[in-house]
């Protein structure tokens, strides 16, 4: 018991010592902005104006604001659909790339490109592709005979939502694919060989060998991606600006419009602060999932593998 | 170690070396660039942010002029040419940080009003009057840029929204070029041919279509309808406003306006015109420049560019003047004023305006005698626009609070929304106006 | 045997579909970048330019600050991604391997930077950087970017490290290696495939970042390439051809890095070879 305690102390010392740079960085760079943000959300601060404490007024107002409620609904729709599609596509992509074939390296590099392109150009490209004047999307659908009248992508609520989801999925899928692939490659071939000898079919092999191995990475990627997608701003702002009629106005676009266009900084930031609990829950789930308590993760992962 | 591992290590090493090498070479270079933008002369220093305009030549002229002021006045001029779409975002960051705020910035009425009640610019009425005595402004420019009797920026040039008409189409249908809104409406109906994807009027009413939002307001004013009265009361639930909205919806449903117009962004109308889908559109003269390309030769020859039509009651155009503000953090107002006056010097000013004509028009009365603005047909029309541009958001409300509310709600495009709802059949005119009223009221309490 | 062939064909078809989905939009970028301004707005879009022109590339390279922007972006992205790996790897290591006091809080605190979106954080971070006098300086941006790369790197590395067997480490202990030595000498090389892919992602995150760069890098000398590109957009008719030419050019460095590194990512099975 005593020995165990000594080890814990040594571990603790070691853990904080090697992470000193990280801790110092986070304290210096992040504490001020986060505290500032939370403080401002309780004031009536406008750009260039003084900040007077107004208590919960910003929050109360938001909760009665139909535009705010709508932005939350939009964010949920956007996030849930995007994450689900990215997760499925990313897993399949990783599985397909885990098979040895000629030109695999090239394929993998090519499939990576969407994630690596600067977002701002990607967004301009989608705007151009879906443009109702000269856009290629309509042209292709037209010549394939799917539509006989040009669709107005940014015009109807459903289609506009679809465009931001497409843009997000297109760019985000490689992230899932490559993260999962990296993990897949650490699964020893011997597992599969053994399973093959036991007569397991492809589906069984996937569910009983592959999936348990990559589950953690999938969940981790999904949670990371959820945090990013909820926080998505650039794509939506530059693609649809929140339109038409607010149908794609996600939370951050609403927040930015309030803070930067209408200059109501306090109220704009309150939007983001209201979302804090969601992120805290997500982060808690994530940490719980990834870091089992007690002996540290190594024993647990060993046990899991043994099962 | 097997060969596979060796290969792997080599590849990684190569990658690492490449990365490290770029890091090292770039690092030194990056640090050099930091102070490269500044050139020193004298002790005084002034920072200027000028909004970039569409023309590289004009931007270069402006840079030269700012440099020339450095020589002339013996002050250090730090200038940046900043893109329009990000201007406010950047400016707001400096204002909040309370440091690096530029001394002189490009400004316009909407921008200024959005800062109300914390307007970060100085009252420059005296400077404007001084310039006005030397070189009188057009009445519309001088009065139209005043907010509650105060100038927060020095008006400099005028942007516009012009009417582009297909002469050949009008001729083919035996019609004159329309000069009133009623003629525009009837011409649009007469020349439409939806079967061939051709429409009379290319006017959008989407939430992303700030171009047409303004034209729609102009339509309403010129028919004698107003969203607000002089005291700032909301008067949008009005017969004349309703009439214009119904007229638009009628045209839309009769397919005299393209079906996708309800979903356009600001680029919708001009691309429809360039694609040969529409006969009449309202757009900034940038469209005129686009038409000059070889590929549009025929379209260009068949296009007439005119100041917008008048209405039954009025001939008011939206004032799109822009100019220069001196920020309230400026330490050296004299130098800043001197710089702005230096930019208004007639000889240089005329050269500069020539490089951005007809997208921007001058604001001074003496230009009505300048042949390059009177003899060129399009320039003359643009100048006519500037002379009549006395409208603004919330027109004719006078109080600064009322105007600030109007400027703030502009970004929610309440007018375009109402037109959209009625045209697409989502709401009745009454409900759409009620929604608009609600939208307008929502901003009233935010300016107190 | 037959079903094997069928599987193989299905697999190739699937890869083909993936490639089309990923690359078609990029082809469209490329196609647009080779068109003249007028051809872009043709009523019927052309799938291959009627007249191929390199005008937009030429314009970008000679008339704008694009190359300088690429240089700045490269400098920032390389520095920040390497910095992030070195600072965040120990965090991932201790979270994956050790049990220590305050671990739970520490693991969450790393992610706290994602609590507020960039569209809010950019103002206080700008204030912070300007207090240090680092606005208009790539150093300021280098200070800010790790706020979003560090938590990502730390967390995404955890499963990679956790999947490495502890056998070698334990053997190293017996040989008298310290914790610190095993962390870098034993585990780090084994986790390299994961570390490299993570570095590339971190690089890409910095490569195209827009909002922070926008407010912090005002002078054209210090600007990164996304700012140079967005500076090309005036009014309501974006010069699609120039924008797309920029996009194509900007994807080259990242492709090179990825291709260089990707050969090291193959054959990960060897990494699993030491497992129990």
Question: Between residues A242 and B113, which one has the greater pLDDT?
Answer: B113
DSSP strand pairing (B104-108 vs B45-51)? parallel
Of residues B406, B417, B407, the one with CA closest to residue B235: B406
Question: Is a pLDDT exceeding 90 seen at residue A190?
Answer: no
| pLDDT tier for residue C235 given thresholds of 50, 70 and 90 | low
What per-residue confidence (pLDDT) applies to B23?
44
Does any domain span residue B281? yes
pLDDT higher than 70, residue B425: yes
| pLDDT score for C218 | 83
pLDDT of residue C237: 67
Task: Give a yes or no: residue B401 inside a domain.
Answer: no
Mean pLDDT lowest for which of B134-143, B247-256, B289-298?
A: B289-298
Same domain, A104 and A214: yes
Q: Are strands B76-82 and B278-283 parallel, antiparallel or unpaired?
A: unpaired
Per-residue pLDDT averaged across A234-245, rounded? 80
- B208:A262 CB<8 A: no
Q: Is the pLDDT score of B11 beyond 60?
A: no
Is position B403 within any domain? Answer: no
Contact C159 A216 (CB under 8 A): yes
Could you give the count of Cα atoms lying within 13 Å of B99 in the half-sphere of its Cβ?
A: 14
pLDDT in tens, B181-195: 999 999 999 999 999
For residue B267, the model assigns a pLDDT of 74
Please indicate, yes or no, whether residues B147 and B181 belong to a single structural domain of this protein: no
Distance to chain C for A3, nearest Cα, Å: 14
Pair (A304, A255) in one structural domain: no
- Does pLDDT of A219 surpass 80? yes
Instruction: Check whether residue A287 and residue A179 sit in a common domain.
Output: no
- B104 in a structural domain: yes
Q: Is the pLDDT of residue B299 over 90?
A: yes
| Helical H segments across B34-55, by residue range | none
* A49, A152, A242: residue with CB nearest B260: A152
**Residue A240 and residue A294 in one domain:** no
Q: Is A87 in the same domain as A226?
A: yes
With cut-offs at 50, 70 and 90, classify the pLDDT of residue A105: confident
pLDDT one-digit tens code per residue, C190-230: 888 888 888 888 898 898 888 899 888 888 888 999 888 88
The confidence band for C45, taking pLDDT boundaries of 50, 70 and 90, is confident
Does position B213 have pLDDT exceeding 70, yes or no?
A: yes
Top mean-pLDDT range of A68-82, A129-143, C161-175: A68-82
Contacts of A174 in chain C (CB under 8 A): 22
CB–CB of A149/A138 below 8 Å?
no
A122-131 pLDDT, tens digit each: 888 898 888 8
CATH number at residue A259: 1.10.3720.10
- Residues B86 and B218 reside in one and the same domain: no
Domain identity same for B134 and B209: no
Structural domains of chain C, ranges and CATH numbers in brackets? 64-231 (1.10.3720.10)
pLDDT of residue B447: 59
pTM as predicted: 0.81
Report the C-alpha gap between A214 and A206 in whole angstroms.
10
**B6-45 burial, b for 16+ CB within 10 Å, e for fewer?**
eebeebbeebeebbeebbeebeeebeebbeeeeeeeeeeb
Residues of chain A with pLDDT > 90, as a percent, come to 13
B206, B239: one domain:
yes
**Is residue A171 domain-shared with residue A287, that is, in the same domain?**
no
Whether B411 and A261 lie within 8 Å, measured CB to CB: yes
B14 three-class SS: helix
pLDDT greater at residue C267 or residue A162: A162
| C119, C180, C276, best to mutate vs chain A, most A CBs in 10 Å | C119
Same domain for B253 and B349 = no
Question: If pLDDT is split at 50, 70 and 90, which confidence band does B176 have?
Answer: very high
Domain count, chain A: 2
Query: Could you tell me if B183 and B286 lie in one domain?
Result: yes
Average pLDDT over every residue of A79-97: 92
Nearest to B23 among C79, C196, C257 (CB): C79
C 17-76 residues with CB < 8 A to A: 18-19, 21-23, 25-26, 28-29, 32, 40-45
Which pLDDT belongs to residue A300? Answer: 40
Q: Residue B37 pLDDT > 50, yes or no? A: no
Return the pLDDT at C269.
Answer: 31
Confidence (pLDDT) at A299: 41
Question: Which position has the higher pLDDT, C239 or B202?
Answer: B202
Domain-located, residue B282: yes
Q: Record the tokens describing residue C102, joined without a space.
A: 């305050």
Omega within 30 of 0 (cis) for the link into B358:
yes
pLDDT at residue number A178: 81
Task: With cut-offs at 50, 70 and 90, classify the pLDDT of residue A104.
Answer: confident
Do residues A109 and A221 share a domain?
A: yes
- Mapped onto helix, strand or coil, the DSSP state of residue A149 is coil
| Mean pLDDT estimate for chain A | 82
User: Residue A99's closest CA among C21, C15, B12?
Assistant: C15
pLDDT above 70 (res B325) = yes
**Range of lowest pLDDT (A174-178, A230-234, B267-271):** B267-271
Give whichever of C34-43, C86-95, C253-262 has the largest mean pLDDT.
C86-95
Q: Do residue A125 and residue C25 have CB atoms under 8 angstroms apart? A: yes
pLDDT at A16 over 80: yes
Q: What's the pLDDT band for C262 if we cut at 50, 70, 90? A: low
Residue A98 lies in a domain: yes
- In chain B, residues with a C-beta closer than 8 Å to the C-beta of A133 are 267-268, 271-272, 274-275, 277
Indicate whether A102 and A211 sit together in one domain. Answer: yes
Same domain, B236 and B271: yes
Best CA proximity match to A33, nearest among C76, C138, C77, C130: C130
Say if B405 falls within a structural domain. no
Nearest C-alpha in C relative to A15: C94
- Shared domain for A266 and A284, answered yes or no, is no
pLDDT of A302: 40
pLDDT of residue B63: 92
Tell me if B393 is assigned to some domain. no
Q: Are residues B311 and B326 in the same domain?
A: no
Q: Give B228's strand partners.
A: B234
> What does the angle CA A8 – CA A13 – CA A15 come to, to the nearest 5 degrees?
90
Residue of higher predicted confidence among B310 and A30: B310
- Answer whether residue C266 shows pLDDT above 70: no
pLDDT band at A307 (very low <50, low <70, confident <90, very high): very low
In a domain, A49, yes or no: no
The mean pLDDT value for C37-66 works out to 83
Residue A108 located in a structural domain: yes
Does B80 share its domain with B199?
no
Residues 6+ apart with CB under 8 A from B38: B76, B78
pLDDT of residue C264: 61
- On chain B, the residues whose CB falls within 8 A of the CB of C72 are 26, 30, 33
pLDDT at position C69 is 93
Distance from CA of B405 to the nearest CA of A (A): 10
For residue C69, give how far its alpha carbon lies from the nearest alpha carbon of chain A (Å).
Answer: 13
| Predicted pLDDT at B145 | 92
* Same domain (yes/no): B227, B285: yes
Nearest CA in chain A to C16: A107
Q: Are residues A160 and A296 in the same domain?
A: no
**Integer Cα distance of B29 and C71 in angstroms:** 9
Does residue B28 surpass a pLDDT of 50? Answer: no
Containing structural domain, residue A238: 67-272
The proportion of chain C whose per-residue pLDDT surpasses 70, expressed as a percent, equals 92
Containing structural domain, residue B369:
45-160+322-388
Contact B268 A245 (CB under 8 A): no
Q: What is the mean pLDDT of residues B157-173?
A: 94
User: Is residue B9 situated within a structural domain?
Assistant: no
Q: Given phi > 0 = left and psi -120 to 50 = alpha, else beta, which region is C157?
A: alpha
CATH number at residue B218: 3.40.190.10
Q: How far is CA B154 from CA A152, B129, B316, B332, B409, in A?
A: 41, 10, 22, 17, 24
Concatenate the DSSP letters of all residues of B258-327 into one string. Answer: -GGGGG-BTTHHHHHHHTT-EEEEEE-THHHHHHTSGGGHHHHHTEEEEPPPB-SS----B-EEEEEEEB
How do residues B43-77 score in pLDDT, each as one tens digit?
Answer: 788 999 999 887 778 888 999 999 999 998 889 99
**Integer Cα distance of A88 and C182 in angstroms:** 37
Can you give the pLDDT at residue A203?
79
Domain count, chain B: 2
Mean pLDDT, chain C, rounded, equals: 83
Residues A172 and A294 in one domain: no
- pLDDT confidence band for A232 (50 / 70 / 90): confident
Evaluate whether residue A126 is within a structural domain: yes
Contact list in A for residue B213 (CB cut-off 8 A) is none
Residue A99 lies in a domain: yes
Q: Please list, in sequence order, all residues whose beta carbon lies within 8 angstroms of the beta carbon of residue C54, skipping any fewer than 6 positions away.
A: C34
Indicate whether A79 and A179 sit together in one domain.
yes
Dist CA C225 CA C71 (whole Å): 8
The answer to whether residues B183 and B154 belong to one domain is: no
- Quote the mean pLDDT of chain B: 85
- B108: which strand partners? B322
- What proportion of chain B, given as a percentage, has pLDDT over 70? 89
Q: Cβ–Cβ of B264/A150 closer than 8 Å?
A: no
Q: Which residues of B touch C192 (CB under 8 A)?
A: 12
Task: Yes or no: say if B428 and B249 are a contact pair by the CB < 8 Å rule.
Answer: no
CB distance from C221 to chain B under 8 Å? yes
Contact check, Cβ <8 Å, A48/B420: no
More confident residue, A193 or A9: A9
Q: Give the residue from C81, C44, C66, C21 showing the smallest Cα distance to C248.
A: C66
Task: Please indicate, yes or no, whether residues B299 and B340 belong to a single structural domain of this protein.
Answer: no
pLDDT at B121 over 90: yes
State whether B29 and C71 contact (CB < 8 Å). yes
- CB contacts of B431 in chain A (<8 Å) are none
* Residue that the structure tokens 């309509």 belong to: A138
């Amino acid at each position: 018991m005593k020995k165990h305690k000594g080890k814990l102390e040594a571990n603790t010392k070691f853990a904080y010592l090697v992470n000193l740079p990280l801790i110092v960085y986070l304290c210096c760079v992040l504490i001020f902005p986060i505290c500032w943000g939370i403080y401002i959300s309780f004031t009536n601060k406008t750009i260039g104006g003084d900040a007077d404490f107004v208590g919960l007024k910003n929050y109360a107002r938001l909760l009665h604001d139909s535009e705010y409620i709508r932005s939350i609904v939009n964010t949920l729709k956007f996030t849930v659909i995007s994450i689900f599609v990215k997760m499925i596509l990313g897993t399949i992509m990783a599985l397909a790339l885990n098979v040895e074939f000629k030109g695999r390296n090239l394929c993998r590099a090519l499939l990576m490109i969407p994630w690596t392109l600067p977002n701002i150009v990607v967004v301009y490209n989608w705007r151009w592709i879906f443009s109702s004047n000269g856009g290629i999307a309509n042209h292709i659908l037209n010549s394939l005979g799917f539509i006989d009248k040009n669709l107005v992508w940014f015009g109807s609520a459903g289609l506009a939502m679809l465009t931001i989801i497409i843009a997000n999925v297109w760019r985000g899928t490689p992230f899932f694919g490559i993260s999962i692939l990296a993990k897949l490659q650490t699964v020893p071939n011997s597992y599969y060989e053994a399973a093959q000898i036991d007569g397991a079919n492809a589906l069984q092999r996937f569910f009983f060998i592959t999936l348990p191995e990559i589950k953690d990475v999938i969940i981790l990627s999904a949670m990371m991606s959820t945090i990013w997608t909820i926080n998505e701003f650039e794509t939506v702002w530059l693609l649809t600006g929140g339109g038409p009629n607010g149908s794609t106005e996600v939370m951050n676009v609403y927040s930015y419009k309030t803070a930067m266009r209408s200059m109501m900084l306090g109220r704009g930031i309150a939007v983001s602060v209201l979302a804090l609990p969601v992120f805290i829950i997500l982060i808690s789930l994530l940490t719980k999932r990834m870091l089992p308590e007690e002996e540290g993760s190594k024993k647990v992962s060993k046990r899991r593998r043994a099962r | 170690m097997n060969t596979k591992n060796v290969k792997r290590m080599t590849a990684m090493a190569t990658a690492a070396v490449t990365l490290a090498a770029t890091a090292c070479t770039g690092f030194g270079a990056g640090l050099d660039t930091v102070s490269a933008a500044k050139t020193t002369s004298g002790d005084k220093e002034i920072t200027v942010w000028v909004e970039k305009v569409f023309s590289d030549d004009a931007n270069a002229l402006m840079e030269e002029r700012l440099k020339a002021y450095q020589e002339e006045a013996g002050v250090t001029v730090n200038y940046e040419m900043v893109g329009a779409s990000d201007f406010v975002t950047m400016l707001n960051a400096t204002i909040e940080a309370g440091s690096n705020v530029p001394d002189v910035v490009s400004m316009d009425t909407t921008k200024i009003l959005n800062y109300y009640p914390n307007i970060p610019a100085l009252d420059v009425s005296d400077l404007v009057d001084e310039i006005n005595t030397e070189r009188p402004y057009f009445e519309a420019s001088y009065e139209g840029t005043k907010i509650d009797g105060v100038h927060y920026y020095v008006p400099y040039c005028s942007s516009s929204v012009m009417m582009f008409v297909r002469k050949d189409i009008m001729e083919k249908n035996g019609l004159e070029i329309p000069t009133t809104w009623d003629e525009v409406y009837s011409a649009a109906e007469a020349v439409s041919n939806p079967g061939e994807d051709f429409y009379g009027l290319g006017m959008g009413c989407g939430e992303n279509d700030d171009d047409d939002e303004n034209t729609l307001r102009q339509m309403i004013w010129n028919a004698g309808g107003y969203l607000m009265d002089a005291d700032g009361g909301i008067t949008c639930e009005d017969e004349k406003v309703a009439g214009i909205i119904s007229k638009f919806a009628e045209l839309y449903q009769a397919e005299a306006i393209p079906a996708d117009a309800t979903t356009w962004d600001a680029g919708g109308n001009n691309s429809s015109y360039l694609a040969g889908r529409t006969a009449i559109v309202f757009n900034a003269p940038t469209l005129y420049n686009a038409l000059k390309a070889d590929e549009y030769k025929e379209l260009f020859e068949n296009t007439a560019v005119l100041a917008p039509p008048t209405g039954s009651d009025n001939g008011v155009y939206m004032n799109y003047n822009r100019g220069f503000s001196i920020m309230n953090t400026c330490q050296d107002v004299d130098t800043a004023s001197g710089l702005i006056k230096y930019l208004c010097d007639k000889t240089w000013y005329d050269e500069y305006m020539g490089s951005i004509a007809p997208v921007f028009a001058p604001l001074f009365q003496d230009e009505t005698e300048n042949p390059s603005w009177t003899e060129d047909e399009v320039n003359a029309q643009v100048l006519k626009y500037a002379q009549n541009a006395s409208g603004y958001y919330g027109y004719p409300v006078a109080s600064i609070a009322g105007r600030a509310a109007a400027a703030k709600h502009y970004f929610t495009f309440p007018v375009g929304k109402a037109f959209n709802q009625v045209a697409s059949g989502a709401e009745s005119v009454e409900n759409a106006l009620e929604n608009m009223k609600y939208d307008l009221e929502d901003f009233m309490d935010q300016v107190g | 045997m037959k079903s094997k062939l069928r599987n193989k064909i299905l697999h190739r078809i699937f890869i083909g579909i993936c490639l089309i989905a990923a690359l078609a939009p990029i082809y469209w970028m490329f196609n647009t970048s080779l068109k003249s301004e007028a051809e872009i707005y043709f009523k019927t879009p052309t799938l291959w330019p009627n007249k191929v022109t390199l005008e937009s590339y030429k314009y970008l390279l000679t008339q704008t600050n694009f190359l300088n922007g690429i240089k700045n972006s490269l400098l920032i992205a390389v520095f920040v991604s390497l910095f992030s790996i070195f600072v965040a790897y120990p965090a991932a290591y201790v979270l994956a391997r050790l049990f220590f006091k305050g671990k739970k809080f520490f693991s969450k605190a790393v992610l706290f930077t994602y609590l507020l979106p960039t569209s809010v954080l950019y103002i206080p971070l700008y204030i912070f950087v300007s207090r240090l006098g680092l606005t208009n300086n790539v150093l300021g941006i280098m200070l800010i970017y790790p706020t979003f790369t560090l938590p990502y790197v730390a967390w995404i590395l955890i499963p990679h490290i956790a999947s490495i067997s502890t056998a070698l480490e334990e053997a190293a202990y017996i040989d008298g290696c310290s914790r610190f030595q095993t962390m870098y000498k034993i585990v780090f090389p084994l986790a390299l495939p994961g570390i490299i892919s993570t570095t590339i992602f971190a690089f890409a995150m910095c490569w195209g970042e827009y909002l922070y760069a926008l407010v912090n890098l005002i002078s054209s000398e210090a600007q990164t390439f996304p700012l140079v590109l967005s500076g090309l957009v005036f009014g309501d008719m974006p010069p699609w051809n120039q924008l797309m030419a920029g996009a194509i050019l900007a994807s080259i460095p990242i492709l090179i890095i990825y291709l260089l590194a990707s050969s090291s990512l193959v054959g990960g099975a060897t990494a699993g070879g030491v497992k129990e």
